[in-house]
Amino acid sequence: MSTVIGVAVLIGAPFARGATCPVIRDPAPASATATGWPQAAPDVPLAAWRGYLAAQAAFKARDYAQARKLYEASFAENPGFLSPLYGLVSVAVRQDDLAKATSHMAQLLRLGFVPWHRESTTDIDLARLWASGDQTVLSANTTAAAAAWGAKVLPGVLLLSRLSAPVQLAPEDGPLLLRPAQEVVSWNPLTGRYHQVTSEGGRVIGFLRAPGGGDLVYVTAEKVRREQGRLVAFEGVAVHWLRLRDMRLVSSRLGAADSRWSKVALSFAKAGPRAFGWGGAGGHAAVELTREAWQPLPWPRTPVGEVTLTPGAADVARRRETSVCKFDLRSTQVQGVPTVKALPAHGTPAALPTKYGLGLATLPLPEKTNPVQKF
């Protein structure tokens, strides 16, 4: 995968003269102004998982009083771990206490709009909540939470992060399930902390941010095809446009569900984002976002992509960030794990810590055993 990117990211927060920027190894402690993860992926303590799993067991056994007690204890002990709070929403819905469910949901969206808004609106068990008489309250909470989350992610540098260990691709030929555990995240160089930007079940394979920084276009794929031992095409490809200020998302499949794309390119024209797909036997497709809707675009004579995605290739881009502190970003590897190195104008270059992988716009597909970085 090759990328040629020029992105200007404006950091709105004031920068104290003499302060460290970018913050790489020692992120700011969690606070009201320094939210998010201290690393490029969430790291939940084992004890928190154990408490949560005990609550899940009680929930599945329909012992909702015990489940609520365990969820509350787990969340109180680890307030940055939001799965127990989601569990409290589910318990309240099961007990027909939609007012309590609405209150928990408002708190959940405020603390983690991404990924929990997408998760909750696609959860059939919570359909009654979203269709309830409290819809007006939920709608207002959602709008406010989206804007607040946008304010957190908009100032940051966007990167592609592997949030957990990926599902390794099967070695045989044919269409292979693609679950690389990748989402776009926003890294704030002033605090060194991260917030999740996309929520696509870990299927993001690449993205491009608009020159002004206010929106991005990204690609997801459901499968990758291997032929004669070589990865040749993506299948089940969709393109997505996301406006950061209010987290407005518009998605569309590229071609048919079974279309195969050997290459997908992304760009921003004056009219808006574009996506191009090259298929087999000379087939191709192009779409453009017009009035916040993806529309077919006549195939141009010379389609140009600022980010080009192909199976089996690696992110080799270098990018300059023009925030309040200027620095370059360059793809590198640490202990075999792909990551990004920051090269500040003043100071020592350093790689961003990541357990599973971090890229400027893409990451290599999990075709082989992926090492884990120790830090």
Q: How many CB atoms lie within 10 A of CB 345?
A: 9
The answer to whether 58 and 89 are in contact (CB under 8 A) is no
pLDDT of residue 154: 94
Q: Residue 117: which of 139, 84, 134 has the closest Cα?
A: 139
What is the DSSP annotation of 240-269? EEEETTTTEEEEEESS-TT-EEEEEEEEE-
Q: Token digits for 56?
A: 């899940």
Tell me, rounded to whole angstroms, the distance of Cα 246 from its chain centroid. 16
Closest C-alpha among 241, 229, 234, 233 to residue 269: 241
Task: Please report the pLDDT score of residue 85 as a whole number.
Answer: 97
pLDDT at 299: 93
Asked if 310 and 231 count as a contact pair (C-beta separation under 8 A), the reply is no
Handedness of CA 8, 12, 15, 19 (dihedral sign): negative
Largest CA distance in the chain: 64
Q: Has this prediction a pTM greater than 0.75?
A: yes
CA 239 to chain centre: 14
Residue where the block lists tokens 């691709």: 169
Contact yes or no for 184/27 (Cβ under 8 A) = no
Q: What is the pLDDT of residues 213-269, one digit of tens each?
A: 999 999 999 999 999 999 999 999 999 999 999 999 999 999 988 899 999 999 999
Please report, to the nearest 10 degrees, the dihedral formed by the alpha carbons of residues 327, 333, 339, 344 taken in order.
-10
Give the integer Cα–Cα distance in Å for 164 and 77.
23
The 157-162 sheet, strands edge to edge: 193-196, 182-188, 157-162, 358-359
Contacts of 96 (CB under 8 A, 6+ apart): none
Residue 199's alpha-carbon distances to 52, 86, 89, 111, 161, in angstroms, are 22, 16, 19, 15, 12
Would the pLDDT of 13 be above 60? no
Share the mean pLDDT of the chain: 88
CB-count burial class (<10 Å; 0-12, 13-18, 19+) for 270: exposed
Please give the share of the chain, as a percent, with pLDDT higher than 90.
66
Closest by alpha carbon to 306, among 199, 202, 159, 206? Answer: 206
